Amino acid sequence: MEIDSPQPRRRRSEKGARTRERIFQTALRRFQADGFHSASLRAIAEEAGVTPALCYRYFESKDALVGEVYGRLLDQWVERSRAMPAGTWTARTLWLTRMSMEVLGPYRPLLGALLMPMLQGHPTVSPLHNRDSREKGAPQFLRAVVEAEDAPRHAEELADAAYLAQLAILFFWAVDRSRDQRATQALLAAVEGASPLIGIGLKLPFVGPKLLAIGRSVRLGLMGEGQPGLTPEAVP
């Protein structure tokens, strides 16, 4: 009796990569159609044409699948952020925010489907609590402020506030029902128009501390106690 020769390693790895990608793409469709909580790995495996055991081999949980989504998008975002133009810190942080929407554009319906667990503070689905999201995203906002042509005092606090503001805008963008998300674009334009006033206000002794205090309160409410702040050393 002949024994089949083992498949070459390269062909096996290519087949495994295709299977993994098929499971991943199927999960994206199921999350978008059913929502994060209702979609099951068993249903994802069945639609992808693999056994549940094989599905678990590639992705041990739904959190792992969402982590893969964020990881891919964050890598694209970080790579594109290297082309950040020179300018004021408000212009640079708004540029990062707009670029986030460009990268996330194809996944906007998925983000809308994941919105509820995001708002519930799910440790993986919520960008506020996803460690990989903060470790890759927040330092770019710090770089945008620290390396700006008008780098302000309290750069770390302002960078963190800009990062949180970006997430808030992305939440709004994910559910924006206006045509072509014009409401979000109008919001960004309004923020851009008000940015000189923000810069002036931060320099005024009777306004600046109050603006920073508002930012700290928002951060505390969103992140809770004991969350690490940004530091200049975090800038790549």
Q: Of 58, 75, 96, at which residue does a domain stop?
A: 58
The total number of structural domains in the chain stands at 2
Verify that 52 and 92 share a domain, yes or no: no
Verify that 49 and 100 share a domain, yes or no: no
Verify that 72 and 147 share a domain, yes or no: yes
At 25 the pLDDT is 93
32-65 residue pLDDT tens:
999 888 999 999 999 999 999 999 999 999 999 9
Residue 168, SS3 per DSSP: helix
Verify that 14 and 118 share a domain, yes or no: no
- CB within 8 Å of 210: residues ≥ 6 apart: none
Tell whether 4 is covered by a domain.
Answer: no
Q: Of 42, 58, 74, at which residue does a domain stop?
A: 58
pLDDT tier, 128 (very low <50, low <70, confident <90, very high otherwise): confident
Structure tokens at 138: 């927040």
- CB within 8 Å of 90: residues ≥ 6 apart: 162, 192, 195, 198, 199
CA distance 217 to 199: 20
Mean pLDDT of all residues in 92-120: 91
Neighbours of 26 (CB within 10 A): 21
Tell whether 14 is covered by a domain.
Answer: yes
Verify that 99 and 142 share a domain, yes or no: yes
pLDDT tier, 176 (very low <50, low <70, confident <90, very high otherwise): very high
Q: Of 19, 42, 58, at which residue does a domain stop?
A: 58
The CATH code of the domain that includes 32 is: 1.10.10
Tell whether 2 is covered by a domain.
Answer: no
Tell whether 3 is covered by a domain.
Answer: no
Structural domain for 29, as ranges: 9-58
Characterize 93-108 residue by residue with b for buried, 16 or more Cβ atoms within 10 angstroms of its Cβ, and e for exposed. Answer: bbbbbebbbebbeebb
Verify that 112 and 228 share a domain, yes or no: yes
CA distance 231 to 93: 17
Compute φ and ψ for 229, nearest 5 degrees. Answer: -90, 175
The CATH code of the domain that includes 80 is: 1.10.357.10
Q: What is the pTM of this model?
A: 0.81
52 and 111 in contact (C-beta within 8 Å)? no
Helix and strand totals (H; E) in the chain: 11, 0
Tell whether 168 is covered by a domain.
Answer: yes
* From 19-28, 30-39, 89-98, 122-131, the region with the lowest mean pLDDT: 122-131
Mean pLDDT of all residues in 84-94: 94
Tell whether 213 is covered by a domain.
Answer: yes
